[in-house]
């Protein structure tokens, strides 16, 4: 079945089974492999993308469900070779170690309310597992990013 | 340097004692950072090769039995399938995973010894067809009796003994003998990227060779395993590590098995074959941390002096030997904890069970044995009526003391320092927390909290029980005993027209290997960090630097690189900055074509070890740690929660402070997870909760604020004083938490994970 997708500001038409996981469509049909799979059952958040600004697990979403919606993945963050401020903050604070959780973690962070307190950051990232960092540096990165947003 | 956020916890960097350093000790940009934050980094599952097939594994569904028949459903359309079984492994190749022994087959022959043991391999170009086909193959077994419980097991895979002094005399002199038995459960590494490889027929000019790309810690282990499996010379085997999404030991030995499987399929199919495990398969099939049961008997003087320590330690090895002998060795050497005793006896055994083999996991046995040691210290304190801190201070290692193996600790002993710093940091954190709650800290609450012997939580009207616990620990850096000599690791530096390229087989698995090595070389050469490039971890290009394990990558391999840099510097003659370095480099390159300096490990002269008697300098240096856990227990659900955690670790020198803190924070949280949440439930020899839905690792909400402080007590044979950092942090949290639970409840648990069921059982 032909589906029209909006991903990172670009329009794509893909020929996929409507129930194909959005995660697989992104990775296989659009070669956007920045979105990762850690569990395939909605537990780890490695596959987090934004759909109309809301963070969702792409492993649980059938592709047909996002027709007409705006999908944003990690590949859509940097523009013209310039890193997004959130990416900079992850680098500066050592928030990416092995990096496998990083794309999903950043997408989840982007869906946080602008004035999030530390408690809100923790709650907002509770669906994203990181096994490397102990989360501390991720809080630092997200807090630095949000502090900049406020200004 | 980024501004610290307002979060509780937080890290404090030790002031650099080496004011002159320009790169080392600074938070330079992470080598592969940009690819990781843009999604450009290619992990194994992101790669697709032309004409590639997907591979899958048919596994046993009984823990022990004879294979009677393997049958394919004749109704199914098998077009396009490739099958491999043990008969596809032909001489000179051998059906044996080359590890310490060769007891484990790549594919079962006529018997299976554990659940999920590989029997057949299947490949197809279409993943859905592959899954459908796999489900249409059945194995018939004649079941055999399985030994699933290691505590009652009798077959010993490995035994070691450490003896020092006159134990009988020590016990005869004792005022009190304190005895306790402690248990720890299995733990899954749970790297977020599962195990995966792609094998491809051919290696360079050798059409009959094999190339494997994959997620792994030790490319040269994989080379060796493939050579044995396929009977190939080293030149025909090429292994390339792809960006690896976490390892923690779980990608030390297992990738050898998976690479072998993919290689067999690829050779039979004549095409590339990708095998990437789904989470469930990764959980049921790959190695875990060894469960342990450890009994301590301690001969004590009334004043709190330890006279003699007698330890019996058993680990559950699973069905095959894998790396268990070395895990046992590290467990045993660390089993006393950081305490001196004139008489020590440690008996260690790995028991065989019909369960999937256990293997490497961060800490490598030391977390288990030091859990027992530190919970036992609190028991001794309680039985003697001495404060736990005072008891520890009395027996803690000082410079000049001798360890269980008879190693005299000459330098870089920071056992007391980390304790002092942890108490200070914990006091500050406790005050801040009390202030935040709008109360003033009760006088003496901090010290009293760690006293441990008293119940300091109030259970009245459903309020949580609160307690604080302490653990002290140490961790030897590098391979045990003569291991580093046997490894004879190599690493080096090649001159390029823009600077240098590092030739090193150590892998980047998230811990910052590339960055930290580049810093060491930049500093040693006196050139800017950005002039250092690192060669891809491809065995066709880089030498064998030994495995990326055992907290050895900085201290041991970093030192080899430092020596290579010093030699290169001598060859280049005088230069005073990056620019003049480049000029000289280009000249030298013109004259010689290529300039490479490869250095090999050199044993520091003062390290002596006897592998037969288990005596001598077990490790060149130790990292030292102190943990303080604050916990609370919900009196209704019995769920324990860590509310604050203090970790002070001495690592000699933080080459890159942010990366080093990241290691400490991550390792600490993994330890907290092991202590409170991570419960591998086995049924009939198979992991029953093999999914992320019910094998729980800490989320942000389970994670307490972690206060980290790095202590830098330099080691003379480490690069810029550095020792290991990766593993030490995971040795303490479980004991600190269990000691805190005892402080909160007055009841002993003596086991992890401290699940609500276990806590309830202890309390009611
Ligand atoms: S892969 Fe989607 S939540 Fe884990
Ligand atoms: S950085 Fe490795 S899982 Fe988060």
Give B501-537 pLDDT, tens digit per residue. 999 999 999 999 999 999 999 999 999 999 999 999 9
User: Which ligand lies nearest the alpha carbon of B692?
Assistant: 1
Two structure tokens written together for B710: 């790095």
Bond before B92 cis per omega within 30 degrees = yes
What is the location of CATH 3.30.365.10 in chain B? 33-41+483-602, 156-188+290-382, 421-474+619-763
| Mean pLDDT taken over chain B | 94
CB B56 within 8 A of CB B275: yes
Two structure tokens written together for B45: 């599952």
Mean pLDDT of A67-87: 96
Contacts of B306 (CB under 8 A, 6+ apart): B298, B299, B300, B339, B340, B341, B395
Q: pLDDT per residue over B204-252, tens digit each? A: 999 999 999 999 999 999 999 999 999 999 999 999 999 999 999 999 9
Kindly indicate whether the domain formed by B156-188+290-382 is annotated with CATH number 3.30.365.10.
yes
Q: Write phi, then psi, for B428 (nearest 5 degrees).
A: -65, -45
User: Which ligand lies nearest the alpha carbon of A24?
Assistant: 1
CA B622 to chain centre: 15
Two structure tokens written together for B363: 């800490």
Helix (H, G, I), strand (E, B) or coil at B316: strand
Give me the residue label for tokens 């040691």.
Answer: B373
B214 Cβ under 8 Å from any chain A Cβ: no
Q: pLDDT per residue over B96-126, tens digit each? A: 999 999 999 999 999 999 999 999 999 999 9
CB B241 within 8 A of CB B274: no
Give me the residue label for tokens 């491999």.
Answer: B84
Q: Is the pLDDT of residue B7 over 70?
A: no
How far away, in angstroms, is A137 Cα from ligand 1 center?
22
- Output the pLDDT for position A64: 97
- Output the pLDDT for position B741: 98
CA dist., res. B642 & res. B429, Å (int): 14
DSSP 8-class letter at B547: -
CB B184 within 8 A of CB B751: yes
Spatial strand order in the sheet of B137-143 = B111-112, B65-72, B137-143
Q: pLDDT per residue over A57-66, tens digit each? A: 999 999 999 9
pLDDT band at A37 (very low <50, low <70, confident <90, very high): very high
Q: Is A133 in the pocket of ligand 2 (CB under 6 A)?
A: yes
Please choose, from the candidates A145, A87, A4, A18, the residue with its C-alpha nearest in 3D space to the C-alpha of residue B30.
A87
Q: Which residues of B touch A100 (CB under 8 A)?
A: 43, 191-193, 245-246
- Output the pLDDT for position B611: 87
Q: Is A37 in the pocket of ligand 1 (CB under 6 A)?
A: yes
- Output the pLDDT for position B265: 98
Are the Cβ atoms of A93 and B658 closer than 8 angstroms? yes
CA dist., res. B295 & res. B276, Å (int): 40
Mean pLDDT of B732-761: 97
Mean pLDDT of B424-449: 71
Q: Is the pLDDT of residue B16 over 70?
A: no
Find, in chain A, the residue whose alpha carbon is nearest to that of B37.
A87
- Output the pLDDT for position A94: 97
Helix (H, G, I), strand (E, B) or coil at B31: coil
CA dist., res. B413 & res. B212, Å (int): 43
Q: Is B192 in the pocket of ligand 2 (CB under 6 A)?
A: yes
User: Which ligand lies nearest the alpha carbon of B693?
Assistant: 1
CB B596 within 8 A of CB B495: yes
DSSP 8-class letter at B194: P
Q: Write phi, then psi, for B645 (nearest 5 degrees).
A: -140, 135
What is the location of CATH 1.10.150.120 in chain A? 85-148
How far away, in angstroms, is A102 Cα from ligand 2 center?
7
B132 Cβ under 8 Å from any chain A Cβ: no
How far away, in angstroms, is B692 Cα from ligand 1 center?
10
- Output the pLDDT for position B147: 98
Pocket test for ligand 2, best of A39, A131, A137, A141 (most atoms within 8 A of CB): A131
Note the ipTM here.
0.98
- Output the pLDDT for position B14: 47
Q: pLDDT per residue over B29-68, tens digit each? A: 999 999 999 999 999 999 999 999 999 999 999 999 999 9
- Output the pLDDT for position B461: 66
User: Which stretches of A4-78 are DSSP H helices?
Assistant: 22-24
CA dist., res. B238 & res. B235, Å (int): 7
Q: Is the pLDDT of residue B640 over 80?
A: yes
Q: Pick from B2, B39, B510: which is nearest to A103 by CB?
A: B39
Q: Is A57 in the pocket of ligand 1 (CB under 6 A)?
A: yes
CATH of domain A85-148: 1.10.150.120
How far away, in angstroms, is A57 Cα from ligand 1 center?
6
Q: Is the pLDDT of residue B605 over 90?
A: no
Kindly tell me the burial class for residue A114, based on how many C-beta atoms sit within 10 Å of its own C-beta (0-12, 13-18, 19 or more).
exposed
Are the Cβ atoms of B192 and A92 closer than 8 angstroms? no
Nearest CA to ligand 1 atom 3: A42
pLDDT band at B482 (very low <50, low <70, confident <90, very high): confident
Helix (H, G, I), strand (E, B) or coil at B273: strand
**Which CATH number is correct for B421-474+619-763, 3.40.50.720, 3.30.365.10, 3.30.1300.10, 3.40.190.10?**
3.30.365.10
Q: Which residues of A touch B30 (CB under 8 A)?
A: 91, 94, 96
CA dist., res. B350 & res. B160, Å (int): 9
CA dist., res. B657 & res. B29, Å (int): 12
Q: Is A96 in the pocket of ligand 2 (CB under 6 A)?
A: yes
Q: Is A130 in the pocket of ligand 2 (CB under 6 A)?
A: yes
Q: Is the pLDDT of residue B455 over 90?
A: no
Q: Is B681 in the pocket of ligand 2 (CB under 6 A)?
A: no
Q: Which fold has domain A2-76?
A: Ubiquitin-like (UB roll) (3.10.20)
pLDDT band at B462 (very low <50, low <70, confident <90, very high): confident
CA dist., res. B125 & res. B133, Å (int): 12
Give me the torsion for CA of B708, B713, B714, B715, rounded to 10°.
-100
Buried b (16+ CB within 10 A) or exposed e, B19-40: eeeebbbbbbebbbbbbbbbbb
Are the Cβ atoms of A98 and B191 closer than 8 angstroms? yes
Pocket test for ligand 2, best of A39, A46, A98 (most atoms within 8 A of CB): A98
Two structure tokens written together for A125: 């990232």
Q: Is A126 in the pocket of ligand 1 (CB under 6 A)?
A: no
Q: Is the pLDDT of residue B452 over 70?
A: no
Contacts of B4 (CB under 8 A, 6+ apart): A140, B10
Are the Cβ atoms of B246 and A35 closer than 8 angstroms? no
- Output the pLDDT for position B4: 39
Map B728-744 to HEC letters: HHHCCHHHHHHHHHHHH
User: Which ligand lies nearest the alpha carbon of B665?
Assistant: 2
For residue A72, list its beta bridge partners: A50
Lowest mean pLDDT among B258-262, B403-407, B412-416, B460-464: B460-464
What is the location of CATH 3.10.20.30 in chain A? 2-76
Q: Which residues of B touch A73 (CB under 8 A)?
A: 39
Q: Is the pLDDT of residue B182 over 70?
A: yes
Please choose, from the candidates B215, B279, B510, the residue with its C-alpha nearest in 3D space to the C-alpha of residue A134.
B510
| Positions of E strands within A16-119 | 48-51, 54-57, 70-72
pLDDT band at A149 (very low <50, low <70, confident <90, very high): confident
Q: Please, what is the Cα angle at B265 between B260 and B271, to 5 degrees?
A: 120
Question: Which of A100, A121, A138, A143 to probe the B interface (max B CBs under 10 A)?
Answer: A100
Are the Cβ atoms of A94 and B701 closer than 8 angstroms? no
Are the Cβ atoms of A118 and B8 closer than 8 angstroms? yes
Interhelix angle B324-333/B366-384, rounded to 10 degrees, is: 30
Query: What is the pTM for the complete model shown?
Result: 0.96
Q: Is the pLDDT of residue B538 over 80?
A: yes
Mean pLDDT of B124-147: 98
Q: Is A138 in the pocket of ligand 2 (CB under 6 A)?
A: no
Q: How far is A86 from chain B (nearest CA, A)?
A: 9
Q: Is the pLDDT of residue B25 over 60?
A: yes
Give me the residue label for tokens 């092995």.
Answer: A98
How far away, in angstroms, is A75 Cα from ligand 2 center?
18
Compute CA distances B449 → A120, B442, B443, B706, B739, whole Å. Answer: 30, 11, 11, 18, 11
Mean pLDDT of B333-352: 98
Kindly indicate whether the domain formed by B33-41+483-602 is annotated with CATH number 3.30.365.10.
yes
Please choose, from the candidates B314, B305, B300, the residue with its C-alpha nearest in 3D space to the C-alpha of residue B181.
B314
pLDDT band at B550 (very low <50, low <70, confident <90, very high): confident
Q: Is the pLDDT of residue B78 over 90?
A: yes
Dihedral of CA B334/B336/B341/B346: which sign? Answer: negative
């Amino acid at each position: 079945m032909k589906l029209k997708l909006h991903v990172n500001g670009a329009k794509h038409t893909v020929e996929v089974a409507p129930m194909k996981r959005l995660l697989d469509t992104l990775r296989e049909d659009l070669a956007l492999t920045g979105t990762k799979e850690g569990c395939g059952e909605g537990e780890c958040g490695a596959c987090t993308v934004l759909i109309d600004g809301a963070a969702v697990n792409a492993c649980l979403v059938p592709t047909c469900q996002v027709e007409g919606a705006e999908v944003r993945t990690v590949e859509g963050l940097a523009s013209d070779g310039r890193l997004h401020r959130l990416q900079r903050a992850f680098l500066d604070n050592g928030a990416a170690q092995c990096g496998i959780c990083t794309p999903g973690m950043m997408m989840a962070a982007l869906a946080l309310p602008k004035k999030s307190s530390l408690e809100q950051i923790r709650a907002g990232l509770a669906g994203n597992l990181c096994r490397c960092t102990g989360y501390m540096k991720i809080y630092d990165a997200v807090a630095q990013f949000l502090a900049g947003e406020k200004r | 340097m980024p501004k610290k956020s307002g979060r509780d916890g937080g890290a404090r960097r030790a002031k650099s004692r080496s004011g002159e350093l320009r790169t080392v000790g600074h938070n330079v940009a992470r080598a592969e950072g940009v690819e990781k934050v843009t999604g450009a980094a290619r992990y194994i599952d992101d790669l697709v090769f032309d004409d590639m097939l997907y591979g899958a594994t048919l596994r046993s569904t009984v823990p022990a039995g004879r294979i009677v028949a393997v049958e394919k459903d004749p109704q199914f359309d098998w077009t396009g399938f490739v099958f491999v079984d043990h008969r596809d492994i032909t001489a000179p190749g051998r059906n044996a995973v080359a590890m310490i022994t060769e007891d484990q087959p790549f594919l079962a022959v006529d018997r299976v010894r554990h659940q999920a043991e590989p029997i057949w391999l299947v490949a197809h170009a279409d993943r859905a067809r592959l899954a459908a086909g796999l489900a249409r193959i059945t194995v018939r077994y004649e079941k055999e009796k399985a030994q699933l419980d290691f505590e009652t097991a009798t077959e010993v895979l490995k035994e070691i003994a450490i003896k020092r002094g006159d134990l009988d005399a020590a016990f005869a002199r004792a005022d009190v003998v304190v005895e306790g038995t402690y248990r720890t459960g299995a733990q899954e590494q749970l790297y977020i990227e599962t195990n995966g490889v792609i094998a491809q027929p051919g290696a360079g000019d050798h059409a009959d060779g094999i190339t494997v790309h994959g997620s792994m810690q030790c490319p040269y282990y994989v080379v060796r395993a493939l050579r044995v499996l396929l009977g190939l010379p080293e030149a025909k085997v090429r292994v390339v590590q792809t960006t690896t999404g976490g390892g923690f030991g779980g990608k030390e030995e297992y990738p050898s098995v998976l690479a072998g499987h993919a290689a067999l399929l690829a050779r039979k199919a004549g095409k590339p074959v990708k095998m990437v495990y789904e989470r469930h398969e990764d959980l049921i099939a790959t190695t875990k941390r060894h469960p342990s049961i450890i009994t301590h008997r301690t001969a004590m003087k009334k004043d709190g002096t330890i006279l003699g320590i007698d330890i019996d330690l058993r680990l559950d090895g699973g069905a095959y030997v894998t790396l268990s002998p070395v895990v046992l060795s590290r467990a045993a050497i660390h089993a006393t904890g950081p305490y001196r005793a004139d008489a020590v006896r440690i008996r260690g055994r790995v028991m065989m069970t019909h369960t999937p083999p256990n293997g490497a996991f961060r800490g490598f046995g030391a977390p288990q044995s030091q859990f027992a040691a530190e919970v036992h210290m609190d028991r001794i304190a309680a039985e003697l009526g001495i404060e736990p801190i005072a008891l520890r201070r009395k027996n803690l290692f000082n410079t000049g003391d001798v360890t269980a193996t008879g190693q005299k600790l000459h330098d870089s002993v920071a056992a007391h320092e980390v304790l002092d710093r942890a108490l200070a940091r914990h006091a500050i954190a406790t005050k801040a927390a009390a202030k935040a709650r709008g109360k003033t800290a009760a006088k003496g609450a901090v010290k009293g909290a760690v006293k441990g012997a008293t119940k300091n939580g109030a259970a009245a009207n459903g309020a949580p029980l609160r307690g604080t616990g302490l653990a002290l620990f140490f961790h030897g850096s590098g391979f045990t005993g003569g291991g580093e000599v046997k490894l004879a690791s190599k690493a080096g530096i090649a001159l390029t027209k823009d600077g240098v390229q590092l030739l090193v087989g150590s892998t980047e698995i998230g811990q910052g290997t590339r960055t930290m090595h580049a810093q060491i070389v930049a500093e040693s050469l006196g050139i800017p960090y950005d002039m250092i490039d690192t060669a891809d971890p491809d065995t066709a290009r880089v030498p064998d630097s030994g495995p990326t394990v055992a907290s050895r990558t900085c201290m041991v391999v970093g030192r080899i690189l430092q020596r290579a840099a010093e030699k290169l510097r001598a060859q280049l003659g005088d230069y005073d900055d990056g620019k003049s370095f480049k000029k000289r480099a280009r000249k030298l390159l013109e004259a010689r074509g290529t300039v490479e300096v490869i250095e090999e490990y050199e044993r520091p002269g003062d390290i002596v070890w006897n592998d037969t008697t288990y005596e001598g300098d077990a490790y060149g240096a130790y990292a030292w740690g102190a943990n303080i856990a604050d916990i609370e227990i919900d009196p209704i659900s019995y769920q324990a929660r860590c509310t604050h955690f203090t970790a002070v670790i001495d690592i000699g020198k933080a080459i890159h402070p942010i990366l080093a803190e990241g290691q400490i924070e991550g390792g600490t949280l993994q330890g907290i997870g092991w202590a409170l949440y991570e419960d591998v439930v086995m049924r009939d020899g198979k992991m029953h909760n093999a999914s992320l839905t019910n094998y729980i690792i800490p989320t942000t909400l389970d994670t307490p604020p972690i206060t980290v402080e790095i202590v830098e007590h330099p080691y003379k044979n480490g690069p810029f004083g550095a020792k290991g950092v990766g593993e030490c942090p995971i040795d303490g949290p479980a004991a600190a938490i269990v000691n805190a639970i005892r402080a909160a409840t007055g009841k002993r648990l003596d086991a992890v994970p401290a699940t609500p069921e276990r806590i309830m059982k202890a309390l009611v």
